[in-house]
Structure 1
């Protein structure tokens, strides 16, 4: 399976996304492809610019794509991210046109998290001072204009102010990415605050599950007395906590393991061997659709835990293999190198364009699998 992963990336995926997926004329990365392999003329999210920087960095490190061309695309992508998506406040807008004109100027927290993330990975490849300086400006904006006295940051959407766990997870991810490449204490300050918020507010002390949607006081929003958790995000939080643990030495093993075990027990549709999208905190399924990305996050989390839990390596290796086999079902598209997004409860895959933003999840999972599966 390791060789299958490498072959698929090197032959089908990276050539497509490094050639037709980069706008070599105007700069930056395309938003999506039709399932027949044609770039779509739609607004480009700042998130896509940032995630593709990461994806190409991993492709380079795996030795599966042209390093010179990838470095050039990364620098172009970072320059476009700063030039076309920056706000005077220090924040970043949601999306722009292919010509670089602002489209959706909402500075949603996802956009901020991924701008920080993309610049960290651009800095890892080419440590230009403007990448760090722009990132520091962004964090200062967050603390000056978006910070909450109860911890965390506001999420600004078209619907108004919301309080969400997931953009904080991605902000934590971005802070950890900067911690890995730079010793400025600002990154750890940001990571520590979000980690504390997760451990004290996002994770329900009764069920151990990690809620998604909150009131202003960080109490979970309830529907008929229940709240929703996403198994995919529990895997993702567990993996990111593992990265933080590796950088700081702070032992988060117990909470990570609990998030994984809950998802393994209650977040898998056993007949399909797929991670489902949403579960109630009473551990009953809310939706039995399966998007591709929870399969990716399962791979990353179980491999990481398997390396630490020597007495349970066989079961974690089996879980990783199962998740990778399921993930590959999403890749059976008309044009090779693309993917379906959603496996519906009916058994059919939903027909919709292949988003560039998905590659970040996919190559992240394959990177972990190629590097660490042989060690289990």
Structure 2
């Protein structure tokens, strides 16, 4: 796992996308290769893998590629092929292979690294250098591991996640129980399937500084030579090396350690390494900053809400008449703007939930004032909610949006759940629900007002409201409504082949024509995954849980690695439509990873909890110390300079609430956050 950032940086530098499997700890080559084979077999049971060490130097790229292609044909026929390099000189740095013939032939014996005299005899006998590269089918390798090293195969198979975490997967804890063994000892020296392809291209495994020097590409950094020849210099940033009157030295200068050795003694550096391991182990590798763990971030999250965000948005962000601000400037000033009903309802939820989580602020007063404002100015005479007020609280848009009714229902349910003394809560909610369901379409869906009448998003929030009322003790109609929307999600909104959720539809509830019908929002994949996982738990519905998992996997395809954020939008072929990244998808990613992690198997839970930690770190990119936030991150990592929208607080509070629920349900190690006390 310590190499993660370097791998991502180097892939980004050369413009290559790749699937990365990260080991929780090194267990030698056999477990690592087994993990790759399990992953490839799941993707393609006929898949063939070329296992290539990362530190090899092959100048003739096409010759190498052709050797792999030639070996792949034998691998498909069941052979495990290694590349044998025709030696250029006796070397004690490499292992050797005795082959049965020229070209592609059976392996007769593998030999360990010899001394210089034995190496010369191997060369005389026609042995090949063992490159350590292998070409084998995924299924063929796993079959041999089952037969020859079953403890490796079983431990690793349990460690490979089945829930995709995107381009980076972290192997589960069982990987650490796999025997620490090389593929040579585990399989190659025992199998009857070993073949070797003799190749003649130049090759080095870069196993020591002399080999790096011989590659001609090993020197880096600033240096000055004065009467110095045949030296290799590698200088870290800000370090200048000067050498005078010396020959054939390796000079490796980093910020915290310097190595000087005769290149002829490069193979002996391991002796120095062992001494360093005993006297100063911190110098064995580069210092790395550890990313913030889930538990540490959760504690900081709780303090930020309790001390900064909740006080700010209930004072500066709420007027004396109970109305909540639409947005605050990043220096904490109220802005004169029209006010949407959904913001009023969302802020009511925020403070009701803050009370439920133990916040000691005056949440009951805030909540009561917010509801009074909602009733007086946002609700129409028919009990439905108008869309927008002016800054002075006069009606501006009387449209009864399904989206807005859903948030009013959600706010009322949360107020009911926290025991607010308001006898009108349920009656108001039933009035709105009855008005909505009376206008259901033939397939049970609901039409939204505005330019997108057939959409999944408004249904998502109605689903959330129905579940909230069911959990708050509402009548059976709420469970019926939740069942109806869950069915719509799994039969209409979610693509049956791809498992991803679409946003817009035509009147027949087929994908809308053009680009609108192709829109896939990673944030909504996560949000629906969270809701369907909750629903699956309430109903004991495995089909809903499986749908949630597929949604999560598709949402994860919209997460980038530089920076690690969930993007705004993809197309239905999973190509990027918008590479901006708003705040709210990060919160939905956190919620979905947490709730799926609660019920995941061991091998998936590790990946999901690491995802949750990554999502929480992504959220922190947006939050400011004052209790505000930025909303829109640009591809370069900067943010659009604009006020903090109040509507984001709903997403932030819901994410923190799920974090508390998961910590309580799973007893997560090092996650002690239980609320806002």
TM-score, structure 2 as length reference: 0.52
- Runs of at least 5 residues in structure 1 that lack an aligned partner in the other structure: none
How far apart in 2 are the matches of 1:225 and 1:128?
42
Tell me the residue number matched to 1:38: 333
1:357 equivalent to 2:357? Answer no
Q: Equivalences for 1:1-376 in 2 at 5 Å? A: 1-23=297-319, 25-66=320-361, 69-125=362-418, 126=420, 128-144=422-438, 146-157=439-450, 159=451, 162-223=453-514, 227-251=518-542, 252-264=544-556, 266-311=557-602, 312-332=604-624, 336-373=626-663, 375=668
3-state SS of the aligned residue for 1:286? strand
How far apart in 2 are the matches of 1:150 and 1:182?
27
Post-superposition shift, 1:134?
0.7
3-state SS of the aligned residue for 1:214? coil
Post-superposition shift, 1:238?
1.0
Post-superposition shift, 1:240?
1.0
Larger radius of gyration: 2
Post-superposition shift, 1:60?
2.1
Post-superposition shift, 1:225?
10
**1:180-217 CA distance string (max 9 Å, x none):** 01240111121111111111110111211110011011
How far apart in 2 are the matches of 1:7 and 1:140?
41
* C-alpha contact 1:47 1:94 (8 A) present in aligned 2: yes
Post-superposition shift, 1:91?
1.7
Change (3 A) 1:224 1:138: closer
How far apart in 2 are the matches of 1:352 and 1:120?
32
Post-superposition shift, 1:44?
1.5
How far apart in 1 are the matches of 2:515 and 2:594?
36
- RCO higher in structure (CA 8 A, sep ≥6): 1
How far apart in 2 are the matches of 1:127 and 1:38?
32
What is the alpha-carbon root mean square deviation over aligned residues? 1.8
* C-alpha contact 1:269 1:288 (8 A) present in aligned 2: no
Post-superposition shift, 1:88?
3.0
3-state SS of the aligned residue for 2:364? helix
Change (3 A) 1:207 1:221: same
How far apart in 2 are the matches of 1:74 and 1:248?
31
How far apart in 2 are the matches of 1:121 and 1:224?
37
3-state SS of the aligned residue for 2:400? coil
Post-superposition shift, 1:224?
6.2
* C-alpha contact 1:26 1:98 (8 A) present in aligned 2: no
* C-alpha contact 2:386 2:401 (8 A) present in aligned 1: yes
How far apart in 2 are the matches of 1:225 and 1:287?
13
3-state SS of the aligned residue for 2:353? helix
How far apart in 2 are the matches of 1:65 and 1:291?
30
3-state SS of the aligned residue for 1:38? coil
How far apart in 1 are the matches of 2:415 and 2:357?
16
- Runs of at least 5 residues in structure 2 that lack an aligned partner in the other structure: 1-296, 670-677
How far apart in 1 are the matches of 2:539 and 2:371?
28
TM-score, structure 1 as length reference: 0.93
> Number of residue pairs matched?
367
* C-alpha contact 2:591 2:655 (8 A) present in aligned 1: yes
**1:87-112 CA distance string (max 9 Å, x none):** 23332111123543211111111111
Large movers: runs of 4+ above 3 Å: 97-100
